[in-house]
Amino acid sequence: MSNTKPNTYANISFNPDITDPDYLEVFSTDDTYENISSVYKQNPQNDYPITSSTNMPNPSDTRGRQKIQISLWLLFLIIICILVAFVVTGIVTFFITKERFTVKQYESKAECYWETWSSWSGCSITCGKGEQFRVRQQMNTSMLCNYNESFNVKSCTSDPCIGDGYLIDMLFSRTASYKNVFISADNTILSNVHTIETSSSANAQLQNYKGTIADICVGNNELIYYEVNYTYTIGNTSPSNYLVLEVGLAERTKVDRYYYVGSKNVSGWSFHLAKSSHNNVYLYSQYVDSNHVWESFSNDTIGTKVHGKFKLFIDRLRNEFSLRQGDSIFHVFKNVTSSGKLCPVFAVFNPQIVLVKLQLMNPRNFTRFPW
């Protein structure tokens, strides 16, 4: 018997008029064929042979694609593991470093010690009164501990300034003062309460003005500079407004007409601190009816303590009286004129509410300064 495989023919023409008996369904008896074919048995010329497909997948190609897929997944897994390792290493390193730094910092703090004081610096000015300072540092072997430093400051006096701005002996007067104010033995400190530094004056002559007059007054064309250190502490509260302190300028014969020179009764020029209705202490400038508020210094809470320095300049060449604090000019009075000399005045008020101390410092005469 021949081994030749029989061909199976399928009709590719379609005629809807042909009835079912013209078609015969034939099942292939060969295992190579899996399709069912319809065979048209009347006209074999319209038939073409159907052969089995030989484009079956190559097993070696399939295995290659599987290997590539496995390699990609393995590479992805390796990358993920590396990233996780980096993160875990970073976290562990952070906590180990933090713990060691904390321990080291604690140990360094415990080993800190103060060095000896440095030598005193030179005087801060070449003439008049100035300051010297020295410093020491808290060290740990050769390094600073938290940048801790400590300073000491003391006053120093150099030779009087020759010609321009020479030092003068302007002091508080113990006679031209109010009976209930207190002055130090060197006549440089004024307070409204008795302290270890101050005492009352048996020769006090003022009846109304709550302070004292300087023992040097300023004539025409003179220029005088001086500083006033101030300290006040709120000891009680009051619903009313009240004065704290005053530094001013007035004619000597008019000073005692009222308890502060800013009043029109005296017609003086006044810088004063006072508590207002806003429950704060403010700096005011006043001449007769002209009164200005410049800055809030503090609230009036019991226990509040404030200290600072006023710098005052009387310029009778330009007829000005000015007040500075630090490098800031608060106010300059213009048209400061008088037929006679004008005297610096200083007042402290209301000892039942506020404790006040003024210290007169560094008075200088700039009359011969080449303006």
User: Is it the case that residue 1 has pLDDT exceeding 90?
Assistant: no
User: Is it the case that residue 365 has pLDDT exceeding 70?
Assistant: yes
Q: Which CATH superfamily is domain 166-365 in?
A: SPRY domain (2.60.120.920)
pLDDT digits (tens, 9 = 90+) for 47-64: 444 444 445 555 555 556
- The Cα–Cα gap between 184 and 176 comes to 14
What is the per-residue pLDDT for 61?
Answer: 57
What is the per-residue pLDDT for 366?
Answer: 85
Alpha-carbon distances of 322 from 168, 202, 223, 332, 334, rounded to whole Å? 19, 33, 12, 4, 9
CA dihedral 275, 276, 282, 283 (to 10 degrees): -90
- The Cα–Cα gap between 105 and 156 comes to 41
pLDDT digits (tens, 9 = 90+) for 11-47: 444 444 444 444 344 444 444 444 444 444 445 454 4
Query: Can you tell me the mean pLDDT for 255-281?
Result: 92
Enumerate the domain spans of the chain.
Answer: 9-49, 113-155, 166-365
User: Is it the case that residue 164 has pLDDT exceeding 80?
Assistant: no
Tokens of 318: 């330009």
Q: Which residues are paired to 246 by β-bridges?
A: 272, 347
More confident residue, 37 or 236: 236
What is the per-residue pLDDT for 16?
Answer: 46
Alpha-carbon distances of 316 from 38, 213, 263, 365, rounded to whole Å? 133, 18, 21, 12
What is the per-residue pLDDT for 202?
Answer: 83
pLDDT digits (tens, 9 = 90+) for 61-116: 555 666 666 677 778 888 888 888 878 888 877 777 655 554 444 444 557 777 78
Give the sign of the dihedral formed by CA 314, CA 320, CA 321, CA 327: negative
pLDDT digits (tens, 9 = 90+) for 309-328: 999 999 999 999 999 887 77
Confidence of residue 330 (pLDDT cuts 50, 70, 90): confident
Give the sign of the dihedral formed by CA 298, CA 300, CA 306, CA 309: positive
What is the per-residue pLDDT for 20?
Answer: 43
Q: How many residues does the chain have?
A: 371
Q: Are strands 166-167 and 354-365 parallel, antiparallel or unpaired?
A: antiparallel
What is the per-residue pLDDT for 184?
Answer: 94
Query: Can you tell me the mean pLDDT for 286-300?
Result: 88
Q: Which residues are paired to 233 by β-bridges?
A: 305, 355
Residues 6+ apart with CB under 8 A from 123: 130, 131, 132, 156, 157, 158
Q: Which residues are paired to 157 by β-bridges?
A: 129
Phi, psi of 101 (to 5 degrees): -65, -40
